[in-house]
Amino acid sequence: MKLTISRLAALFAVTAAAGLLGGATRARAELVKQVMVPGEDRFEPFVVSIHEGDTIEWINQDTDNHTVVSDDAFTTSDNAGTNHKLLGTDNNNGEPSTFSLTFNHRGRFVYFCRFHAHLDGANQPVAPGPNGGIQDNTGNFGTPMSGVVVVKPR
């Protein structure tokens, strides 16, 4: 087969498109970041930075149920009004549960677990106290379970 300039150009275009598509697939997979709830009452990491169009996936590996609730007084990106329960492994057939949100607008998404934090008068998460928390042997009621997603422009 004789390789003409037009056939060579077509072959190059097909090869380049295949490479770009493969790269786009890899790039899209990197746009999903995870926030874990390990075997204790906290979100890890506490702060996640992403770009517009990226997705956060929360994974609850704890035996307890937790929630992702937006603190709308401080949320400046999209997804205000979020209130989603993440089942613990005890209530999900031994499997971690997941929840995902895609963020299309820059700003902050401030969130907390309504079971392990509540908001004070200034809409700040407060650790559960004597009327709603479990006290350890030193008298500490723990840190409020909350987190922040920072959404940057693309």
In a domain, 9, yes or no: no
pLDDT at 131 over 80: no
The pLDDT assigned to 136 comes to 67
- Could you report how far apart the first and last alpha carbons of the chain are, in Å? 45
Range of the domain at 61: 32-152
Buried b (16+ CB within 10 A) or exposed e, 88-125: bbeeeeeebbebebebeebbebbbbbbbbbbbeeeebb
CATH of the domain at 111: 2.60.40.420
pTM of the model: 0.72
Taking residues 85-93, report their average pLDDT.
Answer: 97
Task: Quote the number of domains for the chain.
Answer: 1
With pLDDT > 90 as the criterion, what percentage of the chain qualifies? 56
| R_g (Cα) of the chain, nearest Å | 22
In a domain, 97, yes or no: yes
More confident residue, 12 or 123: 123
